[in-house]
Chains A and B, each alone.
Chain A
Amino acid sequence: MTEWLSVLFALLVFPGFGFLLACALAFQWIDRRVEARLQGRVGPPWFQPLADLIKLLAKEDVLPVGANEIACAALPMVSLAAVLTAALYIPVGGWVARTFEGDLIVVLFLLSIPALAYFLAGWLSVSVYSVVGGSRSLLQFFSYEVPFLMALSGPAILSGSWSISRIAAQQSQAVWLALVQPLGFLLALVGLIGKLKRSPFDIPKAKSEIVAGPLTEFSGRKLALWHLTMHIQMVVGIFLLVNLFLGGSDVGVTIPGVLIFGIKALFILLMLSVASALYARLRIDQLANIGWRVLAPLALAQMLATIWIGGG
């Protein structure tokens, strides 16, 4: 009985849906506010993400004639479920719901499901803009995913473990891996921006070119679920990087682990916001060029160096 209760608690409250929802809303507000301040604006009030979410949930839900209704309803739910499941394996403040050897690989696969669902959503909702956006999102997926995976395999090789919580725990006894592999950290950050489709890599949903990309025809509840998926994915991605490169919540320090973890997560969020305020959007062919000619060779060199020096 108590076991069931603890499972339910982990799924619904911490580190499951409730906690992630709160984090997603808070991070979104901080992100929008920081970006506005960098542009010399004031920015939205703190309740803005919550108001947006409730408004979208209460709006009429329409789909164009010819769109695949079942798929369009299922895709946002599937991607939200995948992102929420991935969150269960990521330690937050030294506390993790489930862990086993190799959960890093599982998390990476779960985090790539939304990208595929995003492409399918564009393909199945009959609109020229969403089809163009869908094919762009797939091309972007192939550009950032390879360097991202290679960058994230650096900490795993160096620690000799594919378990996220073990990689994080090892760093709290030694030095942060971002200091050992600054290049890998940078590549992972760039890959994360591509994964989250944030500016400057918001090519699939480029507002001034193709309306809203794959989500052009989505409205109401479905759009709310898509937005929620994106924002929770941002939280999960940031938590993942904190654990792999910034040592998670340093165990054994006098300050509580949750606080340290939060500060590190906010630091990465700040870097994402600054990047999106500083740089203009790239074209899709430029991104593919950078992904395969710059990022992938750098990530490969980093990985080989890690194997040569550290992993043995």
Chain B
Amino acid sequence: MLERIVRWARRKSPWILHFNSGGCNGCDIEILDLLTPRYDVERLGILKEASPRHADVLLCTGPVTRQSRDRLRRIYEQIPAPKWVVAVGSCSCSGGVFRDGYNVLGGIDQVLPVDVYVPGCPCRPEALIDGLARLLEMI
């Protein structure tokens, strides 16, 4: 019973933290679109938090570069469990056009366990909402 209540609460209140590990900033603008009147993800209880300690879901954009790998891992470790990772955009799903670059490791899944992939360059806000809804179903 208690477990069901907790699972309900987690599904209804995912607070997101957004990290760009080396992308072109296109997907980041699409993420900010989610908070505007047109899409308003606060309907789903989603809030954008600034501190990893407060967050539940890590939204990653961009490919992982050698520079940002350690920082990405560190931020993931700072989020208290239970936590989920969403890879936003083609670059963070697979590395995208940067895939074979000398300084690029590839997608987010090279470093962190990814729960949901949202492809697109940049992905549309509707696709992002769909991806988050799929994540909430998984929880």
CB distance from A80 to the nearest CB of B (A): 18
Stretch in B3-11, B25-33, B118-126 with 4+ CB within 8 Å of A: B3-11
Q: Bound state CA distance, A54 and B45, in angstroms?
A: 13
Q: Separation in Å of the A108 CB from the closest CB of chain B?
A: 30
How long is the Cα–Cα vector from A220 to B56 in the complex, in angstroms? 11
Q: Which among B12, B54, B56 is the interface contact of A47 at CB below 8 angstroms?
A: B12
Q: In the complex, which residue of chain B has the Cβ closest to the Cβ of A220?
A: B80
Interface of A is mostly: loop
Interface footprint category on A: 20 to 34
> Which residue of chain A has the shortest Cβ distance to B46 in the bound complex?
A44
- A41-B37, A219-B80, A220-B80 are known contacts. Are A58 and B10 too (CB-CB below 8 A)? yes
Most central of B6, B8, B43, B54 by chain A CB within 10 Å: B54
A41 to chain B: which residues have CB within 8 Å? 37, 40, 42-43
A-side contacts of B54, CB under 8 Å? 212, 215, 219, 223
B37 touching A59, Cβ below 8 Å? no
Contact B80 A59 (CB under 8 A): yes
Q: What are the residues of chain A within 8 A of B12 when measuring CB–CB? A: 47-48, 51, 55
The answer, yes or no, to whether A42 is at the interface (CB within 8 Å) is: yes
Q: Is B53 a contact partner of A219 (Cβ separation < 8 A)?
A: yes
Q: How does the 8 Å CB contact mask read for B107-138 relative to A, with 1 for contact and 0 for none?
A: 00000000000000000000000000000000
In Å, the complex CA distance between A60 and B80 comes to: 5
A-B contact pairs, 28 of them (CB 8 A): A32-B42, A36-B40, A43-B42, A43-B43, A44-B42, A44-B45, A45-B45, A47-B12, A48-B13, A52-B9, A53-B9, A54-B8, A55-B10, A55-B13, A58-B6, A58-B10, A60-B81, A60-B82, A61-B80, A62-B78, A129-B51, A207-B50, A208-B50, A212-B51, A215-B51, A217-B51, A219-B54, A220-B80
Q: A47-B12, A51-B13, A207-B50 are in contact. Are A62 and B45 (CB under 8 A)?
A: no
Q: Considering the complex, which residues of chain A in the window 210-226 have a beta carbon less than 8 Å from any beta carbon of chain B?
A: 211-212, 215-220, 223
